[in-house]
Structure 1
Amino acid sequence: MKVVGVAVMMVMVVSTAAGHDWGWGSCPSIKTFPNLDVDKFLGMWYVIQQTDTTSSCLTMDYSRSSPTQLRATKSRQLLVLDSFSIEHTNSYTAKLDMPDLDNPAAMRVKWPLNLAGKADYKVVDTDYDNYAVVFECQKFANFLHRKSTAILARSPSLSNEIISEERKALNDMGISTGDLDAIDHSVCVRREDSGLNIDIDEETIKKMLKDASQSVRNIASQLAGGASDLAASLAELSRTLASTGSNQEAVAIID
């Protein structure tokens, strides 16, 4: 699918509002998992519960970029696209910095579309083989923050006993679990079977902005050329925003 409609892009934009909870003041002080073995933590995790989300088939895949940096790739399906029977997958890749190797569980994350910059990203608990809990928080303007919590598992399901224990531990740390939503992994589209694969990382964003900027400049240069030239340039901009140029992948904005 070379060209994806603007409507699909807007669905992705709206989805940026989900997955977080807002609060007053600074981010809460949360203890990290002691002596995290990063290499054991790496790999694919299924998100079992996460703050305020309507996504399904949500996973997190962690890989190492360097001794002090990881890549975190979030993959999911969106309920609103499912409702239109659009088989799709999408992934969104962030950079995770480990500024203190004596406490690698306390990281800093930069998602490509987060214009506010980096956020705290903490591994709160894990046994490496079955479950993990991560907490993300970002401060805004000295009086506001947004935060997100996720309970992860190495398989698509996790025992109710472990979920209850982790939720209780979070509540004891002052992290509300009332807005944690369960993630459905029962009917998931495999990437190779999907007609729409949406992949976003820092390089994709740079390319999209560069292409869009060129189209805007073309529009400006055509303003004196008459309505027909301007209409052609506007059409070019629409095509640029709706396609990455790949036959199988499309640009969208997700967080």
Structure 2
Amino acid sequence: MSAACLLLLLLPLVAAQTYHWGPCPVPKVQPNFNLEQYLGRWYEIEKLPASFERGKCIEANYAVRKDGTIQVLNSQFYKDKVRVVEGTAVIRDLREPAQLGVSFSYFTPYSPYWILTTDYTSLSVVYSCTDILRVFHIDYAWILGRSRFLPTQTVQYAKELLINEGIDLFRMKATDQMGCKDN
């Protein structure tokens, strides 16, 4: 089967994602990542398109479970109600603790969830990429903040970091955080 035929078959699955020809880039991740400092609430500031995120007021909350896995609670306001989905994150290799794996179903494998940079108190830049037979890849990128709004220069810094790692931000869009209620 040619790559073009494969892409046409998979196109409906990736229409709401960002995909590119070739394998995933391999960006550098946060050195000496400290999970304990990272835990808590992060608000989505900007992102590459993701079919599972269509609402506003999007946020993620991370907490360690008793079994050592990380509970991931993502919430968004969509179609007049708050929708919450729970997932699990794991540190796959203790030598690279910033390279997490995340899954939102027992039936799906862990997807990459790499923290490229964070200062733990205001900004986090996260990247995820999956190769499809090394013919093309689907990627996601998120700029997260500890508050619903970040200064323009902080967002620009995050975007430059992603671009310098070879990540295409052409489709990156701001997340609507206006009029959101804090829990």
Corresponding position of 2:28: 31
The alpha carbon displacement at 1:105 in A equals 0.2
RMSD (CA atoms): 2.3
Any idea what the Cα deviations from partners look like across 1:215-245, whole Å, max 9, x if unmatched? Answer: xxxxxxxxxxxxxxxxxxxxxxxxxxxxxxx
Equivalence for 1:7: none
Using the TM superposition, name which of 125-134 and 54-63 deviates more: 54-63
Residue aligning to 1:166: 158
- 1:47 aligns to 2:39 (yes or no): no
Q: Is contact 2:99-2:115 (8 Å) kept? A: yes
Offset, 1:102: 2.4
2:178 to 153, 168, 186: 186
Stretches of 4+ aligned residues off by more than 3 angstroms: none
- Say whether 1:76 aligns with 2:76: yes
Deviation, 1:110, is 1.4
The amino acid across from 1:47 in the alignment is E
Q: Is 2:104 the counterpart of 1:111?
A: yes
- CA distance 1:112–1:17, change in 2 (3 Å): farther
* Paired AA for residue 154 in structure 2: I
Of 55-64 and 20-29, more deviation after overlay is shown by 20-29
128, 136, 152: which one pairs with 1:136? 128
Aligned-partner residue type, residue 39 of structure 1:
E
So what's the TM-score if we normalise by structure 2?
A: 0.82
Aligned counterpart, 1:94: 87
Q: How many residues align?
A: 168
Question: What is the aligned-residue identity percentage?
Answer: 24
Deviations 1:187-235 (A, max 9, x none): 22567xxxxxxxxxxxxxxxxxxxxxxxxxxxxxxxxxxxxxxxxxxxx
Change (3 A) 1:181 1:102: same
Matching of residue 152 in structure 1 with residue 144 in structure 2: yes
Gaps of 5+ in 2: 1-11
More helix by share: 1
Distance 2:146 2:181 in 1: 18
For the residues of structure 1 that align with 2:157 and 2:132, how far apart are their CA atoms?
31
**Equivalent residue for 2:3?**
none
Choose between structure 1 and 2: higher strand proportion: 2
Q: Report the TM-score when normalising by structure 1.
A: 0.60
Secondary structure, aligned partner of 1:124 = strand
- Are the equivalent residues in 2 in contact too, given 1:89–1:189 (CA < 8 A)? no
Letter of the 1:51 counterpart = L
| Matched position secondary structure for 2:65 | strand
CA distance in 1, matches of 2:19, 2:132: 10
Segments of 5+ residues of structure 1 without an aligned counterpart are 1-13, 82-86, 192-255
